[in-house]
Amino acid sequence: MSAPDHSDIVMIEKRFREAAKNMHTMMGNVASSITIIDYDSDQRKSLLARYAVKHIKTGESAAAADTLARADEAYQKELSGLRDAYELAQSKRKEYENEYISWETGRSLLARQRETLKTLPETEQ
């Protein structure tokens, strides 16, 4: 293995710092995204219940109310909004995971370069 070039180390350090900065910047969005993802199922169930309850109050069975609620255009529109929010949340979460992988890669490469430098014979001047 050849000795690490200083420019390689500087480039790795730069990318490592950029990934750390990006992850720090993303934290608020990532926290919101995790909440949206974790509660998506509950939000969809709550939405369906809000639309089904008006049919149940008119005397429909639970199964019929469920079907009628799902057929409601307003329900479908709100459900589409929840779906869009979920997709955006997943996208933000994946962006964070990619930055984390970049950060881990930089950390690993810097550790490897450090170990390589330790094994090089010292030169006398």
Element (H, E) at 62: helix 62-71
Domains of the chain, residue spans:
9-112
pLDDT digits 0-9 by tens, 42-95: 999 999 999 999 999 999 999 999 999 999 999 999 999 999 999 999 999 999
SS (H, E, C) the chain: CCCCCHHHHHHHHHHHHHHHHHHHHHHHHHHHHHHHHHCHHHHHHHHHHHHHHHHHHCCCCHHHHHHHHHHCHHHHHHHHHHHHHHHHHHHHHHHHHHHHHHHHHHHHHHHHHHHHHHHCCCCCC
Radius of gyration in angstroms for the set of CA atoms belonging to the chain, rounded to a whole number: 26
**What predicted TM-score, i.e. pTM, was given to this entire model?**
0.72
